[in-house]
Structure 1
Amino acid sequence: MSSSPSRPTHILRTLADAVPATLLAVMFVCFIIQVFMRYVMDSPVGWTVEVCVIAWLWILLWGQSVSAEEQDEIRFDILYGSVSSGVRRWFRIVFSLLLVGIYAWSLPALWDFVTFMKIQDTSYLDIPFSWVYSVALIFSVVTILRYLRILWGAARGTDTGQSSVDELGRKDFTE
């Protein structure tokens, strides 16, 4: 079991977790505005849909890369939980190498796409699409860093991935 995080780490984690929660609240408010404008005022507005789509994109990519922890990820527990810890360690090494390689290989093309999209703005709010899609860069870079850390821990044998899986391969909710 790892020690508790330092105060600055805890503050950063709290702020990172607040981003998807705030965006979800923004989506809810926009939904209510849209319903009110469409059915009460009989004058639908388009900007609320745009905000919801952008917020949802950011919630998904930010949440998975920055806010989610490794034990929150989906695994094929039938296979992963049924093999020895040594085989699990090799699974983690191979999977981490593959993910780091794929994301690192695609990063230059993703950068080109995001920077190219500065030429176009969203329809209602005139936000450059490069800002909208910048979360994809954050997602890729954070995912690369996360899996490099997982790779390092698995290669050293210090992180076996057992913190979230018990001996039967089920998530342990008692932590």
Structure 2
Amino acid sequence: MKTLSKWFTRGAEFIAAMCLAAIFVTFLLQIVFRYVPFLEPIGWSVVLISLLWVFVIFFGCSFIVRESDHVTFDILYLAATPKARRVLALITAVLMVVAMMYSLPSVWDTVFANRLMELKKIQTLRVPITGGKIPIKWLFAPFVMMMIVVTFRYVWRIFTVIRFGAPETELEVLVASDDAEKPSQ
């Protein structure tokens, strides 16, 4: 299971890195085409960079950023007993799942079932194979993906908190690693 998780994480990091590389290359192309006298500036570069940036943000938040990487205000959580931490972790996970499940149908309808999102097209970008214009809904699709992944993450968190208790805090991890590094007497 750890190997599969490691491969999945590496794959997600590779996809995000390739998107960032595409952003960088597109940005360089934009500079070259703008300042070389005999070349005409390219209009699609800004739109492509924007699309890729939105995708990288939501994709990274979905698959790369760990729970411990988020900024938290955990003064009360750290002061609580392990039993209270378990309850607080369960409450926050359940609230996240409920909020995501409540808003997902509306967001899905807005992005994928809204006729306007299908009719409105990105004017400067085209699908490479067909040459058709890209519907604006694909700009918002990564947000829907993030909502679904976050929902699954917090459902998994509910399961793990019920089964194993509240996750260790950063402070507990640091103390445990310091104790492991000390030589035994």
TM-score range relative to shorter protein: 0.7 to 0.9
For 2:111 and 2:96, locate their aligned partners in 1 and report how far apart those are by CA, in whole Å. 21
Q: TM-score by structure 2 length?
A: 0.79
**Matching residue of 2:31:** 35
CA distance in 2, matches of 1:81, 1:60: 29
The CA deviation at 1:122 is: 0.9
Q: Normalised by the size of structure 1, how large is the TM-score?
A: 0.83
Report 1:40-119 matches (<5 A).
40-41=36-37, 43-115=40-112, 116=114, 117-119=117-119
CA distance in 1, matches of 2:66, 2:156: 12
Task: Find the aligned partners of 2:27 and 2:92 in 1 and give their Cα distance.
Answer: 39
Tell me the equivalent position of 2:170. Answer: 165
Structure 1 or 2: larger strand share? Answer: 2
Which sections of structure 1, spanning at least 5 residues, go unmatched? none
Q: 1:168 to 1:11 in 2, by over 3 A?
A: closer
Q: Give the CA RMSD over aligned residues.
A: 2.4
Q: 1:40 and 1:82 mapped to 2: Cα distance?
A: 61
Q: Do 1:96 and 1:147's aligned partners in 2 also have CA atoms closer than 8 Å?
A: yes
Q: Which runs of 5+ in 2 are unaligned?
A: 126-132, 181-185
Overall identity of the aligned pairs, in %: 27
Note the C-alpha offset of 1:168: 9.4
User: How many residues matched?
Assistant: 166
Measured after TM superposition, the shift of residue 108 of structure 1 is 0.8
Q: 2:156 aligns with which of 127, 131, 149?
A: 149
Q: Do residues 136 (structure 1) and 133 (structure 2) align? A: no
Distance 2:90 2:98 in 1: 12
Displacement after TM superposition at 1:12 (Å): 2.4
